[in-house]
Amino acid sequence: MSTVTAELVKQLRERTGVGLAKCKSALDEAGGDVEKAIEALRKAGIASAVKKESRETKEGRVEFFETPETLAIIELNAETDFVVNNDRFRQLHKQLVELLAKEKSKTVAEFLEVKLPKDPSKTVDDLRKELISVLGENIVISRLSVVPKLPTRSLGIYSHMNGKIFVAVELDGSGKESDFARDIGMHIAAESPEFLKMEDVPEDLKKKEEEIALSQAPKDRPPQVLEKIVQGKLKAFYDQVCLLNQKYIKDNAITIADLVTKKGKEAGVNLTIVKFIRFQVGN
């Protein structure tokens, strides 16, 4: 009697894209032989979906769904815009994001194993593969996020280019500033910040930028002058990649940090940006 290890199941999943439960079952029937298990999965009719799963999925949309307690976001991708605009694709997308709001899965892998409420014999991954077979293109859940709603926070949502770009901004200090948060979301959609603040930039990236700045500086300058040049170039880098440092797109005389401070004073509260999410299809 063979022993099917977790490593074998993982290996079969990586090679076929089939769900963990079906991989385990196929390996059990194949006596732990991965090649025989692959053959069995193909004979079971999963081969067409598996084959298509090797294709690149560069097109897609970002869909979101809100409940009073939660915001759920999913980027769903396919190979062509033709399929992305198909009603079946959009129906699946809507069904998945509503289910995510209920299940609150933290990762794509976790969400793919969620059982469907109306048919517990099937998982989200099974539903995805069924649509692959119907539409003839690879379909992938590339990323997801679940944001809990809190009474002391405002959530701003901005969707652009028919779901190609999606931004959510979370403000702390008031539950009544969702419109303002959405305005910041519009800025984020256009300016693509990578981090919220300077402290969020990884140390290895900071070091790399310092080295680049130093290599670009004139070599005949005194050390204190070189230091000022490097710090100036680093500031320019932070002003580009950090949201709070960026100039507001509607008024480049003010930074986002200053804008938030100004809005907080006007509202009589202490506003701070807690986080932002920016999904752009393919990036």
Distance CA 137, CA 146 (A): 27
What Cα–Cα distance (Å) separates residue 277 from each residue in 6, 64, 142, 143, 173? 34, 12, 15, 12, 19
Beta bridge partners of 278: 167
What does residue 144 show for φ and ψ, rounded to 5 degrees? Answer: -150, 165
**CATH class, range 6-52:** mainly alpha
pLDDT value for 47: 46
Distance CA 120, CA 31 (A): 27
With a threshold of 0.75, does the pTM exceed it? yes
55-149 CATH pick, 3.30.479.20, 3.40.50.300, 3.90.1150.10, 1.10.3210.10: 3.30.479.20
pLDDT value for 48: 46
Q: Which two tokens stand for residue 10?
A: 């993982």
pLDDT value for 2: 59
pLDDT value for 278: 97
pLDDT in tens, 45-55: 664 445 555 56
pLDDT value for 15: 74
pLDDT value for 209: 87
Beta bridge partners of 77: 60, 140
Name the residue among 118, 205, 104, 58 with its Cα closest to residue 126: 118
DSSP per-residue codes, the chain:
-----HHHHHHHHHHH---HHHHHHHHHHTTT-HHHHHHHHIIIIIHHHHHHTTS---EEEEEEEE-SSEEEEEEEEES-HHHHTSHHHHHHHHHHHHHHHHH--SSHHHHHTPEETTEEEEEHHHHHHHHHHHHSS--EEEEEEEEE--TTEEEEEEEETTTTEEEEEEEES-SS-HHHHHHHHHHHHHH--SBSSGGGS-HHHHHHHHHHHHHHS-TTS-HHHHHHHHHHHHHHHHHHHBGGGSEETTEEEEEHHHHHHHHHHHHTS--EEEEEEEEETT-
Name the residue among 114, 129, 113 with its Cα closest to residue 44: 129
Domain boundaries, the chain: 6-52, 55-149
Per-residue pLDDT of the chain (283 residues; tens, 9 = 90+): 457 888 888 888 777 777 788 888 889 888 888 888 877 776 666 644 455 555 666 899 999 999 999 999 999 999 999 999 999 999 999 999 999 999 999 999 999 999 999 999 999 999 999 999 899 899 999 999 999 999 999 999 999 999 999 999 999 999 999 999 999 999 999 999 999 999 999 999 998 888 888 888 888 888 888 889 889 999 999 999 999 999 999 999 999 999 999 999 999 999 999 999 999 998 8
